[in-house]
Chain A
Amino acid sequence: MNYLDFERPIVEVEEKLKELKTYYPHREREIRRLEKRLSKLKTEIFSNLSAWQIAQVARHPHRPYTLDYISRILDDFIELHGDRTFRDDPSIVGGLGKLDGESVMVIGHQKGRSTKEKVFRNFGMPHPEGYRKALRLMKLAERFAMPVITLIDTPGAYPGIGAEERGQAEAIARNLEAMSLLRIPMVSVVIGEGGSGGALAIGMGDRVLMLEYAIYSVISPEGCAAILWKDGTKAELAAEALKMTAKDLLHFGIIDGIVKEPPGGAHRDHDEAARLLKEALKESLDALRGVSGEELIQKRYQKYRSMGRFIDTHGSDTLRDS
């Protein structure tokens, strides 16, 4: 099993516990004692993670991806493909489904688990056609007054020749404009990596949530370190400086809420992570129910319009808060 350095104590106890349960199931007292220790360890370690460690959890190879959540959260799901212009981009998946009986459109970045699948999904880095597919599905949802759920998990939009040739920037820009005018409720959740414009391009929800150990940033810590420190190994410092954790973003008022993860991170228990996410999604959708299209647009405009901090030395020198 793959695990992160700081997870080692947890993994060791987990393995011991597994062994005990398999071969000596009658040693109940010992099992209970170990379970207690495990739960304490998880809490201890995961409540004190640095920004860099959180980034590693957000990118954990066992972390649940969009399709892992979809299969657990929706009663029914039919995947739809293609941007109708160039090709189907497997880095973004989307489709129609039912969430406890309510029809919804779900769109999300998709990473791969195996090496082969990682390549197929392009490591969750979409090309323009991925964003154009996402937009097509949002527009479809709008026609049928269905809420849209977007799940964000990407290192960023792909920086490659084909992507530039087909208008990566234009595709992202167009999505931003279009999302600002959608007449249906949209809930966006950063489930893993929120990589800059490539994340925002499907993330302009009426409500934006982050999983407890997700990150969301204007640039990856590695990229930031390479540019500002001129040294890619300073990523740990950059992660700290960029203030990219869910707690930071909630504090800044950029996101509306944090979705709890199971003890020790979402990768330890996909089912529980999905249950917690589903709860949060339903709460957000309920809060947006019955709001008219025009009102949604106005509120969304105000939401994003007010983001930013600067000094107004003229009228009043109030620090405008997001």
Chain B
Amino acid sequence: MIDMVLASAGLTLIAIGVFCDFVAAIGLIRLPNFFTRLHAATVGAIGGAVVPMLGAALLAIGYEPLGETRFILAGVAFTTSIVTMILSQAGSHALARAAYRARAAPLQPITYDALAEKRGDSSE
């Protein structure tokens, strides 16, 4: 019973990950500028890598024939997903900040630029 629940929860999380990856792939092609595409890439990293890895951890715990190994697999998958969750947001934040401050990417389809207002910069 419990392994059935774990397996279906894990498969659900992996399905969510597939959906997020699909959305991220479409967004990377269709979105207009660098910053929005970076958002799509982060959707792919968090939704498409962290969530399915948690699902893989649940799936591994629920799969009895693996024996003791399944706890190792689940622990590794869980740790990897947590570390990815910490690092992918930091990486995309650093990329976006560097691109904004170096003016390396056009801001063009923009509705509101809070950073420019904060720095008293009205060039954009």
Please determine whether chains A and B interact with each other in the same assembly. Answer: no
